[in-house]
Amino acid sequence: MDWVTCAYSAACSGIAHQPYDRCLAHLQPDEVAETLDEMAPGRLLDLRGTPINGALLSRIIEVTGGRPGRARLDRVTFTGDVRLSGVTFAGDVSLDGARFERLASFFGARFEGNVSLAGAGFARELSFHGVRVRGHVSLDRAVMSRDALFSQAVFGHGLSCERARFDGYATFDGAALGDGASFRGARFGRTLSFRKVSGPAWFDTAHFAADAYLSVTGRLSASRARADGTLDVAVAAGRANLRRMEVTGATTIRLADSDADLEGSVLRGPAMVTGRGGSALTSLRHVDAADLALFGLDLSGCRFAGLARPAAVRVKNCTFALTPRGVRVSLHWPMLRWFSRRSALADEHTMRGWAPPAPAPDKSPASRPAAYGAPAAQDPPAGPDRLAALYSGLRAQVDDVGTSADFAFAAMEMRRQAGRRWWLSLSWLLWGYGMRMGRAAGWLVLLMAITVAALFWTSTSHAERGAEQPPAPAVHP
């Protein structure tokens, strides 16, 4: 401690007030009155380490006119209810390591500066409902043993709850996060309601021991998070980094003009990703999902390589990348090839060296992080064998008949690219694996034309040879 402590007891860490060498809690009644007379609205309030009961807190708020200035309340122990409704703190407030043994209600309070509650402990309920903070709020490593209410709060320069512990129900519904909220490494013991929140939020490596409902406008990151119950995510006009999540219960992800990255996630329960507007998935690489449904998404730039269970993915009303079309000249056999337009995975574009599909436009208010959504640099492009397995597994799960047929064709094409069966090349050349009958018809027409030409040439040759021979002499009896 960087202050002179109370001389009343070695166990008391309260800051000593001169000339008494004791903290406010251990002064005589007349000494308390004299000390409180020195306090005034807007002035520094220094009560570090002091135990404060409900009556003493009420007197402090009264003498400061409900508008204290800079408040230094580190390691204060509040033994009674804390009710600060209507109080405005004109300066920064420091409550690091403070202990709240009963209700801690900041409902309706105003903070003109920053607020630090790092390492604070709340034995009962905490209410930040409707609080307005012009600066930044820190609850890093704080422990909230009961319900924590942050709904409708406004944080001008963001909120930090890194490695905090929420043992009770927690709600942030309707909060405005300003520069964003960080919950990296936090633990939520009961249901978390994070609905209709504006501003970016980071839940990286967080642990949701119960159901979690996350709904934000802007950017959301929950990489390496773990959810033991239901996880419901909704993102509007932003991006969702959901890499390497592990979810035991049901997973629901709703995107509106947003895109999401699920690379490396493990989804043990039923999972569903839906999209509206220009919503897209950027990666399903190495995802292990027992039952994954995709609806209304742009999958043209989505990477599928390493998807553990392609047959467990159901696709409806989604769009894929399209192959380039036209004639291509190559040094490899066949040297002259023609391509027709078909649906394809972005991984095939990478393998063949085609121009990558155009990425989904960035609709988030903040710019995209440099490494976000990019394929892992150490992971080589998928080979033909892996792509053939992907196409085969996905073709039966796609609702669109045309796309399913394209995937069946692509699976055969990848097997041919692997170079294992010579007859696949012949099948591709003659009739497109039985799925391009126009090609077979073309060969038939060509064969018929050659046959007709040959017959015509043969008949013409015979006629010419007959015309060149002289007429046979007449024979008279």
pLDDT in tens, 70-92: 999 999 999 999 999 999 999 99
pLDDT at 180 over 70: yes
Most confident of 155-164, 409-418, 457-466: 155-164
Contacts 24+ apart (CB under 8 A), 52-60: 52/24, 52/25, 52/76, 52/77, 52/78, 52/79, 52/80, 53/25, 53/78, 53/79, 53/80, 54/79, 54/80, 54/81, 54/82, 54/102, 55/80, 56/24, 56/25, 56/32, 57/82, 60/36
**Comparing C-alpha atoms, which of 368, 477, 352 is closest to residue 416?**
352
**What pLDDT is stored for residue 244 in this prediction?**
96
Beta bridge partners of 127: 105, 149
Predicted confidence (pLDDT) at residue 178 exceeds the cutoff of 80: yes
Q: Are 172 and 191 in contact (CB under 8 A)?
A: no
The tens digit of pLDDT for each residue in 240-258 reads: 999 999 999 999 999 999 9
| Helices 422-431 and 437-468, axial angle in degrees (round to 10) | 70
How far is the C-alpha of 416 from the C-alpha of 422, rounded, in Å?
8
Closest residue by Cα to residue 243 from 278, 204, 280, 192: 204
Q: Mean pLDDT lowest for which of 226-230, 259-263, 320-324, 354-358?
A: 354-358
Q: Are 181 and 153 in contact (CB under 8 A)?
A: no
| CA pair distance 362, 339, nearest whole angstrom | 31
The predicted pLDDT at position 201 comes to 96
pLDDT surpassing 70 at residue 166: yes
**Does position 361 have pLDDT exceeding 50, yes or no?**
no
Cis peptide before 369 (omega within 30 of 0): no
Cα angle 381, 386, 391 (rounded to 5 degrees) comes to 110
**Mean of pLDDT values over 203-227:** 96
Per-residue pLDDT reduced to its tens digit, 108-145: 899 999 999 999 999 999 999 999 999 999 999 999 99
Question: Is residue 181 packed enough to be buried (19+ CB in 10 Å), middle (13-18) or exposed (0-12)?
Answer: buried
Cα-based torsion angle of the residue sequence 335, 341, 347, 351 in order, rounded to the nearest 10 degrees: 10
| pLDDT score at 69 | 93
DSSP 10-62: TT--PBPBTTTTB-GGGS-HHHHHHHHHT--TTS-EE-TT-EE-HHHHHHHHH
How would residue 388 be classed by pLDDT, with cut points 50, 70 and 90? confident
Could you tell me whether strands 343-344 and 321-322 are parallel, antiparallel, or unpaired per DSSP bridges? antiparallel
- The answer on pLDDT for 389 being more than 80 is yes
Q: Mark 195-214 as b/e (b = at least 16 C-beta within 10 Å).
A: bebbbbbbbbbbbbbbbbbb
The whole-number pLDDT of residue 337 equals 57
> For tokens 């003493």, what's the residue?
56
Q: What is the average pLDDT value for the chain, to the nearest integer?
A: 84
Q: Tokens 């291509």 correspond to what residue? A: 328
Q: Which of 56, 72, 57 is nearest to 1 (CA)?
A: 72
Structure-token match 């150490």, residue found: 378
User: Could you give the 3-state DSSP secondary structure of residue 164?
Assistant: coil
In one-letter notation, the amino acid at residue 404 is S
pLDDT of residue 439: 55
Look up residue 242 and give its two tokens.
């959901």
pLDDT of residue 342: 79
> How many other CB atoms are found less than 10 A from the CB of residue 235?
26
DSSP string of 54-104?
Answer: HHHHHHHHHHTTT---SEE-TT-EE-S-EE-TT-EE-S-EE-TT-EESS-E
Mean of pLDDT values over 435-441: 55
Share of the chain above pLDDT 70, in %: 79
Mean pLDDT on 160-189: 96
Handedness of CA 152, 179, 204, 138 (dihedral sign): negative
Q: For residues 423 and 312, which has the higher predicted lDDT (pLDDT)?
A: 312
Write the DSSP assignment of 282-294 as a string of letters. Answer: EE-TT-EEEEEEE
- Let me know how long the chain is: 477
Higher pLDDT, 154 or 278: 154
Taking the C-alpha atoms of residue 397 and residue 292, their distance in angstroms, rounded to an integer, is 11
Query: Rounded to two decimals, what is the model's pTM?
Result: 0.82
Cα separation, 419 vs 329, in Å, equals 19
CA gap 266, 288 in Å, rounded: 5
